[in-house]
Structure 1
């Protein structure tokens, strides 16, 4: 098992890259978040998982230990193979995925590539107690509290406006919550949240 690769990035493709380690070029399939952080000609370290099948040996690479750990948890779920797990990690951030699982957002999970309703239900059931908190230390209880009927009216209206624009709730909730304390109106919160979402795209 190859634990990690450290070398020069020689090529970057749609869903993979070549990393040159002392003259040997390894192809590593990676999520979009990892590929976005790579630069051709620059050194990088990728945490790797090697998938061995009868017809192929495939390397998957990740920029952070956190992404690697989530990937390993995902492929441990029945019905989720390495390609599907990679698609899930490429569909959003690690924390947006954690939030969807903590909130039992089956509908949101099924929007990810390769995930049907039954697989989404299995992911929630098997990973809810394993994936840890989202950024900022939010626990499942914190997430439930934010989604409860008593949630700030300003936050609720902002979420409604953003989801009508095509954003998913798990994508915008943590961003909107981070600006809530400094915003007094829906307009202010909407403006600041959109600014942050736009800078991340």
Structure 2
């Protein structure tokens, strides 16, 4: 099992990042690959989940260890595969997901892509009591080190906004859907590309 990878971000694609470690390039599938846009050629640690099937082997990557743990738990829920688990984690924080499960908030859980009432109920049945530890902590601490300085220019914020739109497109949303939420997203209180992406995904879920 590969617990984590520590190396330099070499490249970013629509669904993955490439991490260079001692001359070897690892492709790591991520929920929001563009969250690493500002760290190209910089050293990072990505917590990984090695997914193995008869016809496929993939490395899934996460900024936070808690995200990796929740991903593994979600895979044990009937009706949720790797793609669905990533979509859930891309939409909100581990804290919010744990809170919804512990409070049996089916309405909140059914907002996630591909999660209907049956799957939401299964998530609650399988995971309630096993995720309570994450209700008392935020999983976004690592983003603080990437926050932009308060004096950053409007031009730079615009660049991050546009990068976030590209990331949403890479996640499968249409130009029409992106155009619909763009005015609200532009007004969102965001300071990084990842902030914009998460805000955009939240707006998509709200319809």
Alignment TM-score > 0.5, same fold: yes
What is aligned with 2:156? none
User: Pairwise CA RMSD of aligned residues?
Assistant: 2.3
The gaps in structure 1 that reach 5 residues or longer are 138-196
Which segments of structure 1 move beyond 6 Å, counting only runs of 4 or more? none
Cα distance in 1, alignment partners of residues 8 and 82 from structure 2 = 24
User: TM-score, normalized by length of structure 1?
Assistant: 0.64
Cα distance in 2, alignment partners of residues 77 and 135 from structure 1 = 20
Count the aligned residue pairs: 143
What is aligned with 2:35? 36
For the pair shown, which has the larger CA radius of gyration, 1 or 2? 1
**1:1-201 alignment to 2 at 5 Å?**
1-32=1-32, 35-37=34-36, 39-134=39-134, 136=136, 198-199=189-190, 200-201=195-196
The gaps in structure 2 that reach 5 residues or longer are 138-187, 197-207
CA shift, 1:41, in A, is 0.7
Cα distance in 2, alignment partners of residues 103 and 131 from structure 1 = 11
CA shift, 1:13, in A, is 2.5
CA shift, 1:85, in A, is 0.8
Q: 1:133 to 1:198 in 2, by over 3 A?
A: farther
- Of structures 1 and 2, the one with the larger relative CO (CA 8 A, separation 6+) is 2
